[in-house]
Amino acid sequence: MTRTIDVATASRELEGRPAAEILRWASRELGNKLTFATGFGAEGCVIIDLIAREGLPVDLFTLDTGLLFPETYELWHKLEGRYGIMIRGVRPSHTVEQQADEHGPRLWERDPDRCCELRKVVPLRHALAGFDAWITAIRRDQTAERGHARVVEHDKKFGLLKINPLVAWTHDDVWGHVYARDVPYNPLHDRGYPSIGCHPCTAVVLPGEDARAGRWRGRSKKECGLHVIQPGEVPDAA
């Protein structure tokens, strides 16, 4: 690490603080060793808005799986133009076609965990190399797996710190900020897609369903593997 951070103390002191303040703290403490991986959900757009408004020199990237919705690619370019920023595209080692040649066509249907590993987890691991911490847009109320997340925590999977500035926000907090600040967002949200990933694995959510019910519909899988606590692992007290 660039400097030693008392994770437990930092998380405790930052709990309940405004997201912009958490981001300023992270930028000040970690400098150019801090990055933000956005999936262009509404939460990610909020964080981009805050980083840009605060003028924070945070590295920005996204995992371009090659299977994103056209609307997601359009939003990517719209955010760059709106805020005068660059969001790096981090891509898997294999194109979708090359993956089909090696693993068979439509791997996401036969083995979605393996597909996520190849197109998201492995590229993310490479992208985080050289950084000491990464910002995420997760919220505690999104899934049971995320319910124990803290503002600052050790990410044992990737071996660095994880900063979650929106962890205590609600759905209404996110959309209140989007509307108040006129933050660009994916128009698919207005068409029944509250959670948006790769197009083969994202479906419309019906009234009354959980917000992530459209991800990997028909399967117990609800996470792509980036933010999952391993079975038997107790979250850090940080």
State the catalytic residue, choosing from 45, 198, 201, 224.
224
Instruction: Please compute Rg for the chain using Cα positions.
Output: 17
Is 224 catalytic? The answer is yes
Residue carrying the six token digits 């981001």:
23
CB-count burial class (<10 Å; 0-12, 13-18, 19+) for 225? middle
Length of the chain, please?
238
Q: Phi and psi for 194 in degrees, rounded to 5?
A: -70, -30
Do residues 77 and 66 touch, judged by C-beta distance below 8 A? no
- For residues 41 and 196, the answer to whether their CB atoms sit within 8 Å is yes
Closest to 19 (Cα-Cα) out of 139, 143, 127: 139
The residues that are catalytic are: 224
